[in-house]
Structure 1
Amino acid sequence: MRIAQVTYSTKPRGGVVHALALSEALARRGHDVTVWTLGRGGDQAFFRRVDPAVSIRVVPFEARDDESVGERIARSIETMGAAFAEARMRERYDVVHAQDCISANAVGPCLRTIHHLDEFTTPELVRCHDDAVRRPLARICVSAAVAADVERGWGLTPTVIPNGVDSARFAAAAGPSGDGDRARWRDRLGEYVLALGGIEPRKGSLDLVEAFALLQRRRPDVRLVFGGGETLFDYRDYRARVDARIAALGLDPVVLGVVDDDELPSLVAAAGALAFVSTKEGFGLAAMEALAAGVPVVARDLPVLHGVFGPTVVYAADPPSIEEALVAALDGAGPAAGPGRDLAASHSWDDVALLHEQFYEAVGGEGDHGAAVDLVHRHGAR
C-alpha cells in the first residue's frame, strides 16, 4: 500500500513519536510510506533520524509572533491542506492517516488516530477538535478509555490499537552497555525524579511541584528534573504560576527542555522514579518507556492509566499522595520491575503495524469501521 502518515510537527510529542515509529514498522512490512509534517521555525527534518525506507515531506511553516493560538492552528490547517491537496492526486495514496486534529482537518478524507481528547473554550479550537473527530472515514484510539469517551461524546465506535513501545532501546539503556551514559546523568543531576512533557497544565506540573516540596523535607538530596516541552499552545501564564510557586517554596528544579533523542533512554534509565501525573492522557508512552528501563512510575489516578498499566505502577491523586508514592518509589518499595518490563515489551511496533495494516484493508476507501473493529479484535488488540 501507498500510505501517507500526517502529523503536525517535527518535535518529540507523543503523536509525532507514534507517527514515525508506526511508519517505520509499516515500511518493514513492505509498504510505501510517506510522513507529512509542518516544518515550524525553519525545521527541515524530524527530531530524530528516520529509517530511509520512509519518505519525508516537510511543509515549510513560518513563525509569527503576532497571531493567537487559534489563528496559528487555522494557518497550520490551511498550509498543510494546500500542500497536501496538490500532492494527493499525484501520489495516489491508498491510505491517508492523520495523527492529530490539525492533520485531520487539513488533508480531507482520511483515517484518524485519536491519541487523547482535549477540552477547549476558544470557538475555533472547539470546532477544529470536533470536526477532527466527526469527519474522518474511520477512527483508531490508542486505549479503550479514549475510545469509550469518543463513543459517549460523539456516538462513534473507534477501533482500539494500543501504542507501540521501543522497549529494547530503554532496556538497553538500563543494562551494562548503558552504565557510562547513566553515570553521566547522575554525575550532573545526582539522584532525581524525572517528569517528561515539559511544564504545562495537562502534565499536572503544578501538583508535582507541590508534591516535590513535601518530598524534599524528607529527601533533601533528590532533585526534580523536567524534560521536553515543545507545544503549539501558549502556556506562559501557567508557566509563570509554576515558576512563582517554585520560588515561594524555595525549590530549584532542573528544566532541560527538549532532550536529544539519543540521550533520552539514559536520562530515563538513570532516574530514581518517573512522575507521570498528567491530568489527561490517552496511553502513557513515557511511562511505558520508563517501565521498559526498570524505573518505577508514579502515575495520576486516571481510569485510562489503570486500563493501560494495571498494577505495574503506583497511582496518586493529589500532592500528598504523589509525594508518598514518590518516596516509596525512591526507596524501592513500589511494584517489582519485572511485570512492568514485560508489559512494555509486549507492545511491539511490528505488532501494532500489523494491526494497522489489517485496519487499512478492512476500512478500504469506505470507512467501514465496524469491519475494522471485528477484524482487529479477532487479532487480540487490547
Structure 2
Amino acid sequence: MRIALLSYSTKPRGGVVHTLYLAEALAAAGADVTVWSLARGGDEGFFRPVDPRVRLSLVPFPDRPGEGVGERILRSIAVLRDAFDGSQYDVVHAQDCISANAAGRCIRTVHHLDHFTTPELAACHERAIVDPYAHVCVSAAVADELLSGWGLKATVIPNGVDATRFTTAASDAPSAKARRDGWRSRLGRYVLTVGGIEPRKGSLDLLEAYARMTAAGASGRLTSAEPSSSSAAAASGLAERTTVAAGDDDRRLQLVIAGGETLFDYRSYRAAWDERAAQLGVAPVVLGPVDDVDLPALVAGAEVFAFPSVKEGFGLAPLEALAAGVPLVVSDLPVFRGIFGDAATYATGPAALAQALRDALTDRSRADLGRKVAATYTWTAAAEAHLDLYELLLRNTNQRNAQYM
C-alpha cells in the first residue's frame, strides 16, 4: 500500500510529531509511506531524524519578511498543491487544514477544531473539514464536535506516545540522571509546560497561577495580585482574590515554558503576557523550541507538568509527562478526562490551578498510574487502526468503481 501523509511544517508541533510517529509505525508494518511537507525557513529536514524506511518529500518554503498570516496561508496551500501529485498513491492522508486544502481528494485527521478570525485561515479550516471524503479524529471528544457541528462521522484513532523514551529519561541510570541534573542545575526546581505562549494553551492563566504560587507577603501567605486594567488582565478574567500558603521553596520555584514553534502570529498575545508578567513581578524562563534529544530529560526533571489548555484534541505532551512519572495538572476538559482519567489533577482558572500545582509538588502517588496510562497508547496500535481504515476505504472505493464499469 502506497501512502502519502501530508503536513504543513517540519517544526516540532503536535500535528507534525503525530505525522512522523505514525509514518514510522506504518513503515514498520510494511507500508510504503512518504511524508510530504513544506520545509519552512530554509529547513532541510524535520526537527528530528526520521526512520529511513519513511520517504521524505520536502517542498522549499522560504520566509517572506512582512508577510501576513492570510497571505502565508494562501501561499502555503499553493506551494504544496503545485508540488504534490496524489495520483501515485493509494491513500492520501492530510494532517492539517493547509495540507488538506493542497492535497485534493484525501482523508483528513482533525486533531482539534478552532475558530479563526483571519478570513483566509477560517476558509482553509472550513474547506479542510467539509471537502475530505473520510475523517479521523484523535479523540472521541473531537469526533463528537465534528458530528454535532458538521454532521460528519469520524473514525476515532488515538495518538500513541513513545513512552519508553520518557520512562528511560526518568530512570536511575547514570546517563539519565546526569541529563536531568543538567536541566536542574540550569533551572533549579521548575514547573514545566510545553507548547509555547498562545491563547489556546491557557498561557495567561498559567502565568497568574504561577504568581500566586510564588508571591509571598510578610505573613508568609501567597495572595493574588490586584486585577489589572491591562488587556492581559482582562483576558485572564481574574476578579477574585485568592490566598494560598507559600513556603520558601515555592518562591524559588521556576516556571519553564518550552516549545512554541507556530505558523500563526501571536505577537499581541505574547506582548500582553509579557506585560502581565512584569506587573506580577515574575520572570518565567521561556526556552522556545527544545532539541528533540533534550526534551525527555527536561520533562523528567520537572517537579510538575502543567497543561492548562482551553482547547485540545488529545494531549500528547501531558502523556509524555505521565510516562516520565511527573505529576500532571491539566484544565478540566472532557478530552483530558477521557484520556488521563485519575492519573491527572484537573483545575480550571488561575486560583484552582495554583492550588493544584502546589498540591502536586508533594504528591507523587499517581506516578505508577500515570505510567500505566501512557503505556496504553502506542503508535503500533495507531498504525494498525489506520491500516484497517485505509483498507476499508479502498475496498469501498473499488466496489463503487466496479458498479460503473
Q: TM-score, normalised by structure 2?
A: 0.88
Task: Work out the CA distance in 1 between the residues paired with 2:46 and 2:320.
Answer: 20
* Correspondence for 2:100 among 80, 101, 104: 104
Partner of 1:371: none
The one-letter code sitting in structure 2 at the alignment partner of 1:355 is A
- Tell me if structure 1 keeps the 8 A contact 2:4–2:36: yes
State the 1:67 CA deviation.
2.2
What does residue range 244-323 of structure 1 map to in structure 2 within 5 Å?
Answer: 244-323=275-354
State the 1:366 CA deviation.
5.3
State the 1:339 CA deviation.
1.2
The one-letter code sitting in structure 2 at the alignment partner of 1:81 is R
- Tell me if structure 2 keeps the 8 A contact 1:117–1:146: yes
The one-letter code sitting in structure 1 at the alignment partner of 2:390 is Y
- Tell me if structure 2 keeps the 8 A contact 1:3–1:34: yes
Partner of 2:371: 341
Q: Mean Cα displacement is larger for which, 62-71 or 51-60?
A: 62-71
- Tell me if structure 1 keeps the 8 A contact 2:198–2:266: yes
* Correspondence for 1:125 among 121, 124, 130: 121
What does residue range 1-382 of structure 1 map to in structure 2 within 5 Å?
Answer: 1-85=1-85, 88-89=86-87, 92-177=88-173, 178-217=176-215, 218=246, 219-332=250-363, 335-364=365-394
The one-letter code sitting in structure 1 at the alignment partner of 2:331 is R
CA deviations 1:309-361 (Å, max 9, x no partner) are 111100011000000000011111x6511111001001111111000000100
- Tell me if structure 2 keeps the 8 A contact 1:314–1:335: no
Task: Work out the CA distance in 1 between the residues paired with 2:73 and 2:55.
Answer: 25
Partner of 2:234: none
Task: Work out the CA distance in 1 between the residues paired with 2:396 and 2:146.
Answer: 20
Task: Work out the CA distance in 2 between the residues paired with 1:269 and 1:83.
Answer: 40
Secondary structure of 1:347's match? coil
Secondary structure of 2:84's match? helix
- Tell me if structure 2 keeps the 8 A contact 1:99–1:114: yes
The one-letter code sitting in structure 2 at the alignment partner of 1:235 is Y
The one-letter code sitting in structure 2 at the alignment partner of 1:44 is E
Partner of 2:401: none
The one-letter code sitting in structure 2 at the alignment partner of 1:313 is A
Task: Work out the CA distance in 1 between the residues paired with 2:189 and 2:122.
Answer: 42
The one-letter code sitting in structure 2 at the alignment partner of 1:133 is I
State the 1:44 CA deviation.
1.1
- Tell me if structure 2 keeps the 8 A contact 1:301–1:317: yes
Identity of aligned residues (%): 58
Distance 1:101 1:139, change over 3 A: same
CA deviations 1:3-52 (Å, max 9, x no partner) are 10100000110000000000000000111111000011001100000000
CA deviations 1:256-299 (Å, max 9, x no partner) are 11000000000000000011001100000000000000001110
Secondary structure of 1:364's match? helix
CA deviations 1:217-236 (Å, max 9, x no partner) are 32101000000000011100
- Tell me if structure 1 keeps the 8 A contact 2:69–2:118: no
Distance 1:365 1:69, change over 3 A: farther
The one-letter code sitting in structure 2 at the alignment partner of 1:180 is A
Q: Mean Cα displacement is larger for which, 124-133 or 256-265?
A: 124-133
The one-letter code sitting in structure 2 at the alignment partner of 1:363 is L
Where do 4+ consecutive residues of structure 1 move more than 6 Å?
none
Task: Work out the CA distance in 2 between the residues paired with 1:221 and 1:367.
Answer: 61
- Tell me if structure 2 keeps the 8 A contact 1:170–1:292: yes
Task: Work out the CA distance in 2 between the residues paired with 1:364 and 1:140.
Answer: 15
- Tell me if structure 2 keeps the 8 A contact 1:312–1:335: no
Task: Give the root-mean-square deviation of aligned CA atoms.
Answer: 1.2
State the 1:70 CA deviation.
1.1
Partner of 1:377: none
Task: Work out the CA distance in 2 between the residues paired with 1:168 and 1:42.
Answer: 32
Segments of 5+ residues of structure 2 without an aligned counterpart are 216-245, 399-405
Task: Work out the CA distance in 1 between the residues paired with 2:95 and 2:335.
Answer: 19
State the 1:250 CA deviation.
0.8
Secondary structure of 2:108's match? strand
- Tell me if structure 2 keeps the 8 A contact 1:192–1:224: yes
Q: Mean Cα displacement is larger for which, 65-74 or 157-166?
A: 65-74
Task: Work out the CA distance in 2 between the residues paired with 1:64 and 1:335.
Answer: 50
- Tell me if structure 2 keeps the 8 A contact 1:313–1:335: no
State the 1:66 CA deviation.
2.7
Secondary structure of 1:176's match? coil
- Tell me if structure 1 keeps the 8 A contact 2:7–2:95: yes
Tell me the matched-pair count: 363
Task: Work out the CA distance in 2 between the residues paired with 1:122 and 1:223.
Answer: 35
